[in-house]
Amino acid sequence: MPKSMTKGEIITHLASKTKTTKKVAGIFLEEFVKLSYKEAKKDFVIPGLGKLRVAQRAQRMGRNPATGESMVIPARKVLKFRIAKAAKDSIL
């Protein structure tokens, strides 16, 4: 299985494609990530890639795998990312 790109490799690629320095590309990447964290509460859309959003999971019944005892799993917020159709079509 091929390994994924490191942060440094991503910054180098962005810098070469945009003809800027690695420092500028790194700053852009950091700010983009910060913005996505801040805006995820309202659905953060990355055109052509997908949508990052916060979803509410309801309370439900579950089972403790160690003891087999039934237990209540409390409601909670989770982070979800939905892949855009364009990305699916391009990759698959």
Q: What CATH number did the domain enclosing 77 receive? A: 4.10.520.10
Q: Are residues 63 and 82 in the same domain?
A: yes
pTM beyond 0.85: no
Element at 11 (helix H, strand E): helix 7-18
Which tokens belong to 34? Answer: 């910060």
Are the C-beta atoms of 50 and 86 separated by less than 8 Å?
A: no
Q: Are residues 28 and 53 in the same domain?
A: no
Q: Are residues 72 and 57 in the same domain?
A: yes
Are the C-beta atoms of 79 and 54 separated by less than 8 Å?
A: yes
Are the C-beta atoms of 76 and 58 separated by less than 8 Å?
A: no
Helix axes 22-39, 7-18, angle to 10 degrees: 110
Q: Which domain holds residue 69?
A: 43-92
> 46-69 pLDDT, tens per residue?
999 999 999 999 999 999 999 999
- Categorize the per-residue pLDDT at 1 as very low, low, confident or very high, splitting at 50, 70 and 90: confident
Q: Are residues 47 and 75 in the same domain?
A: yes
Distance CA 56, CA 25 (A): 34
